[in-house]
């Protein structure tokens, strides 16, 4: 699905040059569940932003679904991103003025999906993540765990090739966090490709592979046997 070859990201100011990613080489196949771990400042979020096409590498190659996109322009990246990638953020990023249904539907409005199909797909995905009974509620009327379920539904509704999750349990208590992780594991078992940044070793254990970063480099990779 994606292949990173000798990928580097360097941030420069007039006085300082900072290497955020240093010769990253990663292959991720369709249907994998990969956790990315490492201490703060090691490059996890930078890597996820580049994989999600929210940022571009300074050098190296990024192949996505067979195309080399490391040096594509923003318009090209935006078109690829909206058709292929769903995002789940730590802070939920729901729009407070919209209902649960409308928050999820918004992802389809960006893709010009017809009204009837939007309704069917939103209803189906809300049921899938167990939040259909809250469709008419506002985000402020939901618990943290429920809000993250809505965020997962929003990521899924456009049927993306890949889901990127940035600390998806960071704002949740233990029970809510485990609910979200169980849901992500189930989605992966149903075929979704998931790449997740996490600080939690127990949540990384839900993934089939863990990539550990340190100082912008991959230092270890660990695979787990299928259960």
- What pLDDT digit, counting tens, does each position of 132-175 carry? 999 999 999 998 889 988 998 998 888 888 999 998 888 888 88
Contacts of 73 (CB under 8 A, 6+ apart): none
Phi/psi-derived region of residue 153, left when phi > 0, alpha when psi is between -120 and 50, beta in every other case: alpha
The reported pLDDT for the residue numbered 193 is 94
The reported pLDDT for the residue numbered 174 is 87
The reported pLDDT for the residue numbered 225 is 75
d(CA 220, CA 10): 22
The reported pLDDT for the residue numbered 227 is 60
Backbone angles phi, psi at 90, to 5 degrees: -60, -40
Q: Residue 21 pairs with which residues in a beta bridge? A: 9
Largest CA distance in the chain: 55
Cα 77 off chain centre by: 16
- What pLDDT digit, counting tens, does each position of 174-221 carry? 888 888 899 899 889 988 899 999 988 999 999 999 999 999 999 999
d(CA 147, CA 140): 9
On the CB side of 112, how many CA atoms lie within 13 Å of its CA? Answer: 1
- What pLDDT digit, counting tens, does each position of 42-64 carry? 999 999 999 999 999 999 999 99
- What pLDDT digit, counting tens, does each position of 51-98 carry? 999 999 999 999 999 999 998 999 999 989 988 999 988 888 899 999
d(CA 193, CA 216): 23
What single-letter DSSP state applies at residue 44? H
Among 224, 192, 225, 193, which Cα is nearest to 210's?
224
Among 216, 129, 203, 215, which Cα is nearest to 172's?
203
Q: Is the pLDDT of residue 5 over 90?
A: yes
- The pTM assigned to this predicted structure is 0.89
The reported pLDDT for the residue numbered 159 is 87
> Any idea how long the chain is?
227
Q: Are 24 and 219 in contact (CB under 8 A)?
A: no
- What pLDDT digit, counting tens, does each position of 26-40 carry? 999 999 999 999 998
């Amino acid at each position: 699905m994606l292949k990173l070859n000798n990928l580097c990201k360097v941030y420069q100011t007039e006085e300082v040059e900072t290497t955020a990613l240093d010769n990253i080489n990663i292959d991720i196949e369709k249907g994998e569940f990969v956790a990315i771990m490492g201490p703060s400042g090691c490059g996890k979020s930078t890597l996820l932003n580049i994989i999600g096409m929210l940022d571009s590498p300074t050098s190296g190659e990024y192949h996505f679904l067979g195309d080399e996109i490391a040096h594509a322009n923003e318009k090209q990246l935006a078109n690829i991103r909206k058709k292929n990638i769903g995002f789940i953020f730590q802070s939920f990023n729901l729009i407070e003025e919209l209902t649960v249904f409308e928050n999820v539907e918004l992802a389809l409005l960006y893709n010009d999906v017809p009204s009837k199909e939007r309704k069917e797909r939103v209803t189906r995905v809300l049921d899938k993540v167990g939040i259909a009974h809250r469709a008419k509620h506002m985000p402020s009327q939901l618990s943290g765990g429920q809000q993250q379920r809505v965020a997962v539904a929003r990521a899924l509704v456009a049927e993306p090739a890949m889901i990127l999750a940035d600390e998806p349990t960071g704002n949740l208590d233990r029970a809510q966090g485990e609910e979200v992780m169980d849901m992500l594991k189930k989605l992966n078992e149903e075929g979704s490709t998931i790449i997740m940044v996490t600080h939690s070793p127990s949540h990384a254990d839900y993934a089939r592979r863990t990539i550990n970063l340190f100082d912008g480099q991959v230092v270890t990779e660990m695979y787990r046997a299928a259960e």
